[in-house]
Amino acid sequence: MIRLIAWSVGTSFLFSIVEMAVFVHVSYLSIMPDLVLLVVLFTSIHNGVVAGIWTGFIAGIIFDFLSISPFGLHSFVFTTIGFMVGKVQGRYHIDRVFAPAILAGFAMIFKVGLVLVLRGVFGPNIQVYSVFSRQLWIEMTLNIVFVPFVFGLLNMFPTTFLYKRFSS
């Protein structure tokens, strides 16, 4: 399990660097997909609550260090999403594209709601999404479009990212 979490967090770190170094220069209106969220989703869907929580927590802390958001914001959001999605693991048939794309959309909506609640608790220094802005909907669409690519990439390494199937 530790190896799985280490690989997931390392991948999240690399995706964070890609988001902040590459996507910033090629994105439309500075909107980019949340690749770290997709790694947390993949880990939670395929490995359950514990892996989702730890991956979300550590990847969130790393993302908080790399971004200008308040420390602990992404850690809390990714941990909560890792827990919620990890509860789904094993209850439903999760195919390769359709169900993960739906979960990515719901995770983005949940993230927006959670950040709104955190802003109400901690004040205005937390940036929130405007529900009526097209930036939110473009980012959600980008997350859904990137699901097959991220999940396909991570599925190429089953012994690294899928703990339950290969551990005995």
The model's pLDDT over 88-125, given as tens digits with 9 standing for 90+, comes to: 877 776 767 788 899 999 999 999 999 999 988 888 88
Looking up tokens 């420390």, which residue turns up? 71
C-alpha separations of 141 from 29, 32, 71, 110, 159 in Å: 14, 10, 27, 15, 30
Q: Domain residues of the chain, as ranges?
A: 2-22+30-160
Residues 6 or more apart whose CB falls under 8 angstroms from that of 73 comprise: 60, 64, 115, 118, 126
| CATH code of the domain made up of 2-22+30-160 | 1.10.1760
Question: Measured between alpha carbons, how far is 26 from 34 in angstroms, rounded to an integer?
Answer: 15
What pLDDT score does 164 carry? Answer: 61
Query: Among 14-18, 113-117, 155-159, which stretch is predicted with the lowest mean pLDDT?
Result: 155-159
Tokens of 128: 């929130």
Tokens at residue 84, please?
Answer: 């919620």
Place of tokens 């996507």: 23
* Confidence bin at 31 (pLDDT 50/70/90): confident
| Weakest-pLDDT range from 19-28, 41-50, 60-69 | 19-28
Question: What phi, psi does 31 have (nearest 5°)?
Answer: -105, 130
Q: Please state, for a pLDDT cut of 90, what percent of the chain lies above it.
A: 45
Whole-angstrom distance, CA of residue 104 vs CA of residue 34: 10
Query: Which residues make Cβ contacts (< 8 Å) with residue 20, sequence separation at least 6?
Result: 66, 67
